[in-house]
Amino acid sequence: MSVYQLSKLTGTSKQNFSALKHGKFDDLKFSTMVKIANALAISLDEFR
């Protein structure tokens, strides 16, 4: 899945995903984590 597709499914900007990928996004909301996990069909435990 592309970053574009993931951003559309979660309502999170591509810029935020880029910052998250590079460890520069330190204020990730729990609700956003849930949306990302659901879009990727993974458990929240995999974010650890």
CA distances from 23 to 17, 27, 30, 41 (A): 10, 11, 17, 22
| pLDDT confidence bin for 1, thresholds 50/70/90 | confident
Per residue in 7-46, pLDDT (tens digit) is 999 999 998 888 888 888 778 888 988 999 999 999 999 8
CA distance 33 to 42: 11
3-state helix, strand, coil in the chain (%, to 5): 65, 0, 35
Cβ atoms of 4 and 16 within 8 Å: the answer is: no
Which pTM value belongs to this model? Answer: 0.75
Domain boundaries, the chain: 3-42
